[in-house]
Amino acid sequence: MNYIVSRYSSSDNSGDKTQASRSGADYWVVKLDGQGTKQWDRTLGGDANDHCRELHLPADGSALLAGSSLSGASGDKSQPNLGLRDYWLVQIDAQGNKEWDRSYGTVKEEQLASVVLTPDDGCLVGGDNINTYAVLKLDARGTKQWEQTLHAGDGYTQLVQMRSAADGGYLLAGMSTGDAVGDKSEPSRGGELYGDYWLVWLTSTVLANHPPAVPIAWQVYPNPLKVLSRCNCPPMHRQLACSYNA
């Protein structure tokens, strides 16, 4: 039996670490044999801090590393930073070679909390964004299939863990200081500093009928815009593809 462990490291190549730091903290993954002898290690990162939080082993023998990143497109990170901290997923093969990486985020800060592998060889990725739980469904190559944002008003919200259930649903567990606003049905019990437990159940029926992301083409006049504009879209339009034609 072999073992794979992963977290993050800011060390250069020294001791058991064979590769230099990319810059700041990087993902660091180590493969061990049944006696704990190291077989190989890999350093993965960009030009800023990258913190690996979880490691999962899909059935195809690969390893999926998931965490949060401040890096731009540099080093092992192929996509630019989208704002502040983004989700960053990296899949490596059985020899530690990178197969693909993907970044997901907004102009705000996304902190990845939990990943659950799904029966279709994809995964569910969950985290938080100040006052929301932010959940993404990805396919086996990291392509986003849908997203679900759960709001808790103006309070602070933190997702801690997700768990799958036998009926195909998922339980999201964390904390919130928000009142009964948005997707939160009960008021705060008064935990202004640390908040209350907030559990959300995503049923298999809801997930099976989740509307796909619908691209929308926009014509903007004048182009470029001289002032900041806001657009309110129906709930099914969670993902917008905007075209600016000069």
pLDDT, residue 233, reads 44
Task: Give per-residue pLDDT as tens, 191-239.
Answer: 666 789 999 999 876 555 555 544 445 555 555 554 444 444 443 333 3
109: pLDDT confidence band, cut at 50, 70 and 90? confident
Lowest mean pLDDT among 23-32, 85-94, 182-191, 233-242: 233-242
**Is residue 165 predicted with pLDDT exceeding 80?**
yes
Are 173 and 193 within 8 A, CB to CB? no
Token readout for 55 is 């490691």
Give the pLDDT mean for 27-52.
96
Token readout for 11 is 């060390």
197 three-state secondary structure: strand
pLDDT, residue 84, reads 85
pLDDT, residue 130, reads 80
Are 151 and 131 within 8 A, CB to CB? yes
Task: Give per-residue pLDDT as tens, 110-144.
Answer: 899 999 999 999 999 999 988 899 999 999 999 99
Q: Is the peptide bond before 222 cis (omega within 30 degrees of 0)?
A: yes
- Mind listing the domains of the chain with CATH numbers? 3-208 (2.130.10.10)
Which of 145-149, 164-168, 237-241 shows the highest mean pLDDT? 145-149
Q: Which of 76, 97, 96 is nearest to 88 (CA)?
A: 76
154: pLDDT confidence band, cut at 50, 70 and 90? confident
Give the pLDDT mean for 53-76.
95
* Higher local confidence (pLDDT), 104 or 229: 104
**Is residue 167 predicted with pLDDT exceeding 80?**
yes
174: pLDDT confidence band, cut at 50, 70 and 90? very high
pLDDT, residue 46, reads 96
pLDDT, residue 26, reads 96
**Is residue 184 predicted with pLDDT exceeding 50?**
yes
| DSSP-H helix ranges across 99-154 | none
Are 53 and 78 within 8 A, CB to CB? no
> Which one-letter amino acid corresponds to residue 45?
G
Give the pLDDT mean for 149-175.
90
pLDDT, residue 210, reads 56
pLDDT, residue 208, reads 56
